[in-house]
Amino acid sequence: MAFQKPFLIWLSCIVIAAAQEPAEPGLVIPPQIYVVPGVETHVVLRNAALIPPGKNFEVISCRCEVGELDESGSKWVFNLSEDQTGNYPLVLESNLGSAKTMITVVSGAAGADRDISLLMVGDSLTNASIYPNEVARLLAEPGNPNWKMLGTHQPRRALPGVFHEGYGGWTWNRFNTRWDPGSPQTGKTRSSPFLFLKGGKPQLDWNQYFDQYSDGVKPDFVTFLLGINDCFNADADDPEAIDERIDAVFSEAERLMAVLREASPETEVGICLTPPGNDRDAAFLANYKDGRKRWRWRRIQFRLVDRQISHFSGRKEERIFIVPTSAVIDPITGYEADNGVHPNRQGYESIGREIYAWLKWRLASRPD
Tens of pLDDT, residue by residue over 296-329, are: 999 999 999 999 999 999 999 999 999 999 999 9
- Three-state DSSP class for 215? coil
Rounded (5°) CA angle 162-130-124: 95
Task: Give the Å distances, CA to CA, from 317 to 101, 313, 323, 367.
Answer: 21, 11, 16, 15
Distance separating alpha carbons of residues 175 and 117, to the nearest angstrom: 21
Domains and their CATH numbers in the chain: 107-365 (3.40.50.1110)
* Tens digits of pLDDT across the chain (368 residues): 444 434 333 333 323 233 333 345 479 999 999 999 999 899 999 999 998 888 888 888 999 999 999 888 889 999 999 999 999 999 999 888 899 999 999 999 999 999 999 999 999 999 999 999 999 999 999 999 999 999 999 999 999 999 999 999 999 999 999 998 776 555 556 899 999 999 889 999 999 999 999 999 999 999 999 999 999 999 999 999 999 999 999 999 999 999 999 999 999 999 999 999 999 989 998 888 766 688 999 999 999 999 999 999 999 999 999 999 999 999 999 999 999 999 999 999 999 999 999 999 999 987 66
Nearest to 159 by CA among 136, 127, 188: 136
H helices then E strands: how many in the chain?
Answer: 9, 17
User: Which pTM does this prediction carry?
Assistant: 0.91
> Using one digit for the tens of pLDDT, what is the confidence trace for 79-122?
999 999 999 999 999 888 899 999 999 999 999 999 999 999 99
Buried b (16+ CB within 10 A) or exposed e, 287-323: ebeeeebbbbbbbbbbbbbbbbbebbeeeeeebbbbb
| Pure H helices in 214-366 | 228-231, 239-263, 281-287, 294-312, 345-365
Nearest to 22 by CA among 244, 302, 278: 302
CA atoms within 13 A of residue 10's CA, in its CB half-sphere: 5
Given this model, what pLDDT does residue 73 score?
Answer: 81
